[in-house]
């Protein structure tokens, strides 16, 4: 993997710097319900302000298919929230192209911040943003002084005009601090982990994680499996899984993975079952080969947690993706919660969470500051764990290649 230029490698004083951020925050009736993504971009934005750059922010919000979507998903409330957090004006322009945008950008002073309207508004007209339309990419790049900073890890697995496109038509494209942190933790860990590497996988489906499992089989020393996906592995070995969630069409694949794993895959020995998909009911802990008919497994059991703890203790690197149970229901959150405890007890290991639900589980359960790194991208972190090259990172300028005066 070639090294990419970072924001620390460039001179930005007085320059119009184009910055792609990930502000795709959850909204309820136009109110932001979680502004973590905005806060995550602050190191980059504050650095550029302090260095005297003219900061021009690009971001997307949701998907835009209709005119109504445009009204619903304007970035105006996000610009307001950013302004509150920065304690500084953020000039919001309700255009993605046009004279007002160009004039406002050209009259920016050093250290000022401007936000362009939702980049996906361009999708209404032939999906220009999402299909990386050349003309749009050229136009957006022309608004700056040749410097592009990508800090949007959440869309790094996409080839869009506002990341890969602008990068192509800018003289120099670098990572911001947030993207840099994702590259350092996930990218470098996957490519060159401190061993032993213990991967812990859970979540709903094997089918979502096939490529992650395959990639980690080559890199990890052990793969601990929980979540509903364990039942596909058990069913594949002929166990009765009751009414637990499993994937009939993935049984062959599960057998194949177990064969290839040569003992690397560690499965649970007990689980918590219930007679319905509910927080209440006839909840009990049973051994894996004793799941009663009509009962479904909704969490891993205490013997499994002790078993997993033994592997976690020895690890130098721990990568976790996918909750151990239905953590959204309090009676089935214990597996995930104790897993977080066991992982964060290991102070010598680099500990990484990739995956949207796992990240929110860890944060909600109070472990936000205990991990080395909690990835900010759901789909992007999964593709990164699969060992894929992310276009939003590949498009950045290589350290050696750069012959621009910086
Ligand atoms: P991530 O977003 O971290 O990659 P996933 O999306 O793969 O994780 O999986 C998260 C979902 O898996 C959660 O909604 C959780 O309720 C569900 N899940 C975990 N264990 C079970 C189980 N035993 N039965 C049904 N659903 C489960
Ligand atoms: Mg998920």
Question: Would the CA dihedral through 356, 358, 363, 367 be positive or negative?
Answer: negative
Looking from the CA of residue 298, the nearest atom of ligand 1 is: 23
- Mean pLDDT computed over 116-135: 97
Query: Measured between alpha carbons, how far is 309 from 341 in angstroms, rounded to an integer?
Result: 10
Q: Please report, rounded to a whole number, the percentage of residues in the chain having pLDDT higher than 70.
A: 98
Looking from the CA of residue 356, the nearest atom of ligand 1 is: 2
Q: Residue 268: CB within 6 Å of ligand 1?
A: no
Calculate how far, in angstroms, residue 85's C-alpha sits from the geometric centre of ligand 2.
Answer: 28
Calculate how far, in angstroms, residue 233's C-alpha sits from the geometric centre of ligand 1.
Answer: 15
Residue 258 has pLDDT above 60, yes or no: yes
- Identify the residue whose C-alpha is closest to ligand 1 atom 15: 326
- Identify the residue whose C-alpha is closest to ligand 1 atom 22: 228
CB atoms within 10 A of CB 259: 9
| pLDDT of amino acid 372 | 95
Query: For 321-343, what is each residue's pLDDT tens digit?
Result: 999 999 999 999 999 999 999 99
Residue 218 has pLDDT above 80, yes or no: yes
| pLDDT of amino acid 1 | 56
| pLDDT of amino acid 153 | 96
Query: How does residue 356 score in pLDDT terms, banded at 50, 70 and 90?
Result: confident
Calculate how far, in angstroms, residue 321's C-alpha sits from the geometric centre of ligand 2.
Answer: 9
Query: Measured between alpha carbons, how far is 295 from 346 in angstroms, rounded to an integer?
Result: 34
Omega within 30 of 0 (cis) for the link into 170: no
| pLDDT of amino acid 298 | 98
Query: How does residue 404 score in pLDDT terms, banded at 50, 70 and 90?
Result: low
Query: How does residue 401 score in pLDDT terms, banded at 50, 70 and 90?
Result: low
- With a CB cutoff of 8 Å and minimum separation 6, the contacts of 107 are none
Say which range, 27-31, 202-206, 348-352, has the weakest mean pLDDT: 27-31
Residue 397 has pLDDT above 60, yes or no: yes
Looking from the CA of residue 205, the nearest atom of ligand 1 is: 7
Q: Residue 228: CB within 6 Å of ligand 1?
A: yes
| pLDDT of amino acid 30 | 82
Query: How does residue 402 score in pLDDT terms, banded at 50, 70 and 90?
Result: low
- Mean pLDDT computed over 102-127: 97
Query: Measured between alpha carbons, how far is 179 from 150 in angstroms, rounded to an integer?
Result: 7
- Mean pLDDT computed over 117-133: 97
Mean pLDDT for all residues in the chain:
95
Query: For 171-217, what is each residue's pLDDT tens digit?
Result: 999 999 999 999 999 988 888 999 999 999 999 989 989 999 999 99
Query: For 145-174, what is each residue's pLDDT tens digit?
Result: 999 999 999 999 999 999 999 999 999 999
Q: Residue 323: CB within 6 Å of ligand 1?
A: yes
Question: Would the CA dihedral through 376, 382, 388, 390 be positive or negative?
Answer: negative
Cβ(109)–Cβ(124) below 8 Å: no
Between the alpha carbon of residue 114 and those of residues 10, 48, 89, 222, the distances in Å are 20, 12, 9, 47
Q: Which residues pair with 113 in a beta bridge?
A: 55, 90
Looking from the CA of residue 382, the nearest atom of ligand 1 is: 4
Highest mean pLDDT (candidates 25-39, 189-203, 295-309):
295-309
Q: Which residues pair with 223 in a beta bridge?
A: 199, 265
Calculate how far, in angstroms, residue 132's C-alpha sits from the geometric centre of ligand 2.
Answer: 26
Cβ(58)–Cβ(173) below 8 Å: no
Query: How does residue 400 score in pLDDT terms, banded at 50, 70 and 90?
Result: confident
Of 333, 334, 342, which is closest to residue 224 (Cα–Cα)? 342
Phi and psi angles of residue 183, each rounded to the nearest 5 degrees, phi first: -65, -45
- Identify the residue whose C-alpha is closest to ligand 1 atom 24: 228
Cβ(78)–Cβ(59) below 8 Å: yes
Calculate how far, in angstroms, residue 63's C-alpha sits from the geometric centre of ligand 2.
Answer: 18
| Pocket probe mutation, ligand 1, options 154, 227, 267, max atoms within 8 Å of Cβ | 227
Say whether pTM exceeds 0.85. yes
Q: Residue 378: CB within 6 Å of ligand 1?
A: yes
| pLDDT of amino acid 199 | 97
| pLDDT of amino acid 266 | 98
| Pocket probe mutation, ligand 1, options 201, 228, 296, max atoms within 8 Å of Cβ | 228
Calculate how far, in angstroms, residue 37's C-alpha sits from the geometric centre of ligand 2.
Answer: 17
Query: Measured between alpha carbons, how far is 382 from 390 in angstroms, rounded to an integer?
Result: 11
């Amino acid at each position: 993997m070639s090294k990419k230029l970072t924001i620390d490698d460039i001179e930005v004083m007085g320059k119009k710097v184009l910055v792609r951020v990930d502000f795709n925050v959850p909204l309820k009736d136009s109110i932001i319900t979680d502004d973590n993504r905005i806060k995550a971009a602050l190191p980059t934005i504050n650095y550029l302000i302090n260095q005297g750059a003219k900061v021009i922010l690009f971001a997307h919000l949701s998907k835009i298919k209709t005119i109504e979507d445009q009204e619903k998903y304007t970035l105006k409330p996000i610009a307001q929230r950013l302004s509150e957090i920065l304690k500084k004006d953020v000039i919001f322009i309700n255009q993605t192209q046009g004279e007002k945008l160009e004039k406002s950008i050209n009259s920016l002073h050093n250290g000022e911040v401007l936000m362009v309207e939702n980049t996906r508004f361009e999708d209404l007209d032939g999906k220009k943003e999402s299909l990386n339309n050349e003309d749009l990419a050229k136009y957006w790049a022309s608004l700056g002084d040749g410097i592009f900073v990508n800090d949007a890890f959440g869309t790094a697995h996409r080839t869009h005009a506002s990341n890969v496109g602008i990068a192509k038509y800018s003289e120099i494209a670098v990572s911001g601090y947030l993207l840099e942190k994702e590259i350092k933790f996930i990218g470098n860990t996957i490519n060159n982990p401190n061993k032993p590497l213990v991967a812990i996988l859970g979540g709903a489906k094997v089918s979502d994680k096939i490529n992650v499992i395959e990639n980690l089989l080559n890199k990890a020393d052990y793969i601990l499996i929980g979540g509903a996906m364990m039942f596909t592995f058990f069913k594949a070995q002929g166990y009765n899984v009751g009414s637990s969630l499993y994937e009939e069409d993935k049984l062959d694949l599960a057998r194949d993975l177990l064969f290839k794993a040569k003992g690397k895959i560690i499965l649970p020995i007990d689980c918590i079952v219930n007679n319905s998909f509910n927080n209440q009911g006839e909840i009990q802990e049973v051994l894996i080969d004793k799941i009663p008919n009509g009962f479904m497994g909704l969490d891993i059991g205490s013997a499994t947690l002790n078993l997993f703890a033994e592997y976690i203790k020895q690890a130098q690197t721990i990568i976790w993706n996918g909750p151990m149970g239905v953590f959204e229901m309090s009676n089935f959150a214990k597996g995930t919660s104790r897993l977080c405890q066991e992982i964060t007890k290991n102070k010598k290991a680099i500990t990484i969470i990739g995956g949207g639900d796992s990240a929110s589980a860890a944060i909600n359960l109070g472990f936000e500051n205990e991990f080395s790194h909690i990835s900010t991208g759901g789909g992007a972190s999964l593709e990164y764990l699969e060992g894929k090259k992310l276009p939003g990172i590949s498009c950045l300028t290589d350290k050696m290649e750069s012959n621009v005066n910086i």
